[in-house]
Amino acid sequence: MARKIIIDTDPGKDDAVAILLALAAPQELELLALVAVAGNVPLARTESNVRRVLELAGRPDIPVYAGCARPLVRPPITAEHVHGDTGLHGLDLPEPRMPLRPEHGVDYLINALCVASPGEITLCLLGPATNLAMALVKAPDIGPRIAEIVWMAGARSEGGNVTPAAEYNVHADPDAAKVLLDSGIPTTLLPLDLTHQVRLTDARLDRLRRIDTAAARAVAALYSNADGTALQGGLGGPLHDPCVIAHLLRPGLFTGRRINVAVETASPLTLGMTVADWSGVTDRPANAVFLNRADADGFFDLLFERLARLP
Ligand code: RIB
Ligand code: CA
């Protein structure tokens, strides 16, 4: 029986790869819908990018909703310096033809969860947690209906990627992160400590380029410099968000510990910092599985094998 998932996302290069990986696992994952959120680039672009990626993969049948256009409290911060003005720098996809669904993404989440059986739907969050947090504030009863939140978020020993202390998805909406971490909903976090181990290096790009599918070519285009070399000076771009989907497909790829994770929502210096009690030095109750060790080769074996299955 395929696991029912909803992806909440801010494409975003790595989001696009995560969506492709989910689409390449129809036996294991039933992708009910995608909800776009403001994040790496503004909402008008993230929702369009979701539809563009679905059409690239030949799946215009999957519903796409637009969620929140800004964080719960703070002004938006974007990441064009990483993803480009389009959000998918390096990959030119045509304007989408499939329609955006008219219902607000937050209302879709509420309505989908209200009619679901308890524990039926897993929420895969690939960006700021604004939409789900707003849904939980508006309709708290949906919480027990969520099987699990699996979220690319946070950092501990790796430090931040948008400030020295904070990872982007949490820093962009720390108040939303607090709503989720305080919710009591089963939560698995995939932080930078994990995702920085999963890089599309030159050697892996060479392997990727031997896969003759549009999806594989799209990933190579997103993660190559103009001269074809790997991003970040050859170190290779980290595939943050695809780790969320890979965890669902092959849980043994990543390991970690169930601990307490808190989030800073006030300090200007450390706003969005995730404070992970890895050694259990506080009496704060465990509220998340914090994954910090990756089998990177196993991840890329999975990713490449699945990209070969797409059009
Ligand atoms: O910090 C990495 C996260 O921020 C990823 O989800 C990336 O897409 C950006 O949203
Ligand atoms: Ca993202």
CATH number of the domain enclosing 13: 3.90.245.10
Confidence of residue 3 (pLDDT cuts 50, 70, 90): very high
- Reference 247, options 287, 291, 309, 216; nearest CA is 291
Closest atom, ligand 1, to C-alpha of 192 = 1
The Å distance, Cα 41 to ligand 2 centre, comes to 10
pLDDT digits 0-9 by tens, 55-81: 999 999 999 999 999 999 999 999 999
Q: Tell me whether residue 56 is in a domain.
A: yes
pLDDT digits 0-9 by tens, 263-278: 999 999 999 999 999 9
The Å distance, Cα 207 to ligand 2 centre, comes to 24
Phi, psi for 85 (deg, rounded to 5): -65, -30
Phi-psi region of 260 (alpha: psi -120 to 50; beta: other; left: phi over 0): beta
pLDDT at 19 (0 to 100): 98
Closest atom, ligand 1, to C-alpha of 13 = 8
Phi, psi for 84 (deg, rounded to 5): 80, 165
Taking each helix axis from N to C end, the angle separating 43-56 and 214-222, rounded to the nearest 10 degrees, works out to 140
Closest atom, ligand 1, to C-alpha of 238 = 2
Confidence of residue 240 (pLDDT cuts 50, 70, 90): very high
Q: Containing domain of residue 45, as a range?
A: 3-306
With a pLDDT cut of 70, the percent of the chain lying above it is: 100
Instruction: Give CA 14 to chain center in angstroms.
Output: 8
The Å distance, Cα 172 to ligand 1 centre, comes to 10
Taking each helix axis from N to C end, the angle separating 13-23 and 214-222, rounded to the nearest 10 degrees, works out to 160
Contacts of 257 (CB under 8 A, 6+ apart): 278, 289, 290, 292
Rounded mean pLDDT of 214-223?
A: 98
The Å distance, Cα 169 to ligand 1 centre, comes to 6
Secondary structure class of 110 (helix, strand, coil): helix
Rounded mean pLDDT of 233-239?
A: 94
Q: Tell me whether residue 24 is in a domain.
A: yes
pLDDT at 74 (0 to 100): 95
Structural domains counted in the chain: 1
Residue owning the nearest CA to atom 1 of ligand 1: 168
The Å distance, Cα 127 to ligand 1 centre, comes to 6
pLDDT digits 0-9 by tens, 22-38: 999 999 999 999 999 99
- Contact (CB, 8 A) for 5 and 112: no
DSSP state of 250: -
Confidence of residue 54 (pLDDT cuts 50, 70, 90): very high
pLDDT at 11 (0 to 100): 98
Q: Tell me whether residue 263 is in a domain.
A: yes
Secondary structure class of 191 (helix, strand, coil): coil
* Among 8, 13, 15, 223, residue to substitute to test ligand 1 (most atoms within 8 Å of Cβ): 15
pLDDT at 16 (0 to 100): 98
Average pLDDT, the chain: 97
Phi, psi for 54 (deg, rounded to 5): -60, -40
Q: How far apart are CA 39 and CA 7, in angstroms?
A: 14
pLDDT digits 0-9 by tens, 149-192: 999 999 999 999 999 999 999 999 999 999 999 999 999 999 99
pLDDT at 191 (0 to 100): 99
Q: Tell me whether residue 311 is in a domain.
A: no
Secondary structure class of 25 (helix, strand, coil): coil
Q: How far apart are CA 250 and CA 299, in angstroms?
A: 9
Q: Tell me whether residue 16 is in a domain.
A: yes
Rounded mean pLDDT of 209-236?
A: 95
- Contact (CB, 8 A) for 181 and 287: yes
Confidence of residue 250 (pLDDT cuts 50, 70, 90): very high
* Among 7, 8, 13, 14, residue to substitute to test ligand 1 (most atoms within 8 Å of Cβ): 14
- Active site residue ranges: 240
In the block, residue with structure tokens 């947090």: 133
Q: Tell me whether residue 32 is in a domain.
A: yes
Amino acid of residue 189? L
- Contact (CB, 8 A) for 170 and 143: no
Q: What share of the chain is helix, strand, coil (3-state, %, to 5)?
A: 35, 20, 45
Cβ < 6 A, ligand 1 pocket: 10, 12, 14-15, 39-40, 79, 126-127, 152, 161, 167-169, 240-241
Confidence of residue 227 (pLDDT cuts 50, 70, 90): very high
Q: Tell me whether residue 177 is in a domain.
A: yes
Closest atom, ligand 1, to C-alpha of 12 = 8
